[in-house]
Chains A and B, each alone.
Chain A
């Protein structure tokens, strides 16, 4: 069964450093998403991406965040200058069509020290 994959599984970084989280969505999917989940809290929507542009973003997704689909398979989330409060699990998701279900990856655990 095809699945969304994410790398790395864990990342530790110093405050102020840039991090790039990588995702490989399910092949042939057209819609891509990032969510995050701070430990013990809800899963929160960050951004959706379709047709090479952001279609929707939350208040969390400020200027420090950016997304990119650099090639036909990868979808990345960049945090330009990490803060302590960026520590969370980051989940990538994708879906094939507008009315279809979103499938989530296993997540990247980001720890900012």
Chain B
């Protein structure tokens, strides 16, 4: 399973765009990149998943460059309720079922 590296913490203000970058230098050909969000004392919540280029949904965008060695989660116009821990995970769904969570990025949004 590819190891991921992401910043331990980030601060932002309401209304700003937040970009969290994750490094996964050893990503394998069949690996997908998935981001989860976790609020205190709650289960991880799926945000977005992608394989290459750009994926967008109603919550976020995920940018993946051609070499796929990194990815960037973009949260447009964050609010206080976006304060949470964000996890980047890389896994190949046909080889393993388990998700390996790192320490994530703790995003703090200020008013």
Interface string of A64-104 (1 = CB under 8 A from B): 00000000000000000000000001010100001111111
Minimum C-beta distance from B97 to chain A (A): 4
A45 and B43 contact, CB distance less than 8 A = no
Which residues of A lie under 8 Å from residue B44 when comparing CB positions?
43, 91, 104
Return the contact of B96 from the options A35, A44, A56, A100 (Cβ within 8 A): A56
Chain B: CB-nearest residue to A105: B43
B46 and A103 contact, CB distance less than 8 A = yes
Chain B: CB-nearest residue to A33: B97
Return the contact of B98 from the options A56, A104, A107 (Cβ within 8 A): A56
Indicate the member of B34, B41, B87 with the most A CB atoms within 10 Å.
Answer: B41
Query: Number of A residues contacting the other chain (C-beta, 8 Å)?
Result: 27
Number of A-B residue pairs having CB atoms within 8 Å of each other in the complex: 52
Return the contact of A107 from the options B41, B94, B103 (Cβ within 8 A): B41
Q: What does DSSP make chain A's interface, helix, strand, loop or mixed?
A: strand
A45 and B46 contact, CB distance less than 8 A = no
User: What's the Cα separation between A8 and B39 when bound, in Å?
Assistant: 19
**A98-B94, A101-B34 in contact; A44/B43 too (CB < 8 A)?**
no
User: What's the Cα separation between A42 and B45 when bound, in Å?
Assistant: 15
Q: What does DSSP make chain B's interface, helix, strand, loop or mixed?
A: loop
User: What's the Cα separation between A109 and B38 when bound, in Å?
Assistant: 15
A50 and B97 contact, CB distance less than 8 A = yes
Question: Is B81 interfacial (CB 8 A cutoff)?
Answer: no
A99 and B97 contact, CB distance less than 8 A = no
**A56-B96, A99-B94, A101-B34 in contact; A43/B101 too (CB < 8 A)?**
yes
User: What's the Cα separation between A58 and B99 when bound, in Å?
Assistant: 11
Which residues of A lie under 8 Å from residue B101 when comparing CB positions?
42-44
**A42-B103, A89-B41 in contact; A31/B94 too (CB < 8 A)?**
no
User: What's the Cα separation between A43 and B102 when bound, in Å?
Assistant: 8
Measuring CB to CB, which residues of chain B are less than 8 angstroms from any residue of chain A?
A: 32, 34, 38, 41-46, 49, 87, 93-94, 96-103
Measuring CB to CB, which residues of chain A are less than 8 angstroms from any residue of chain B?
A: 4, 31, 33, 35, 42-45, 48, 50, 55-56, 58, 89, 91, 93, 98-107, 109
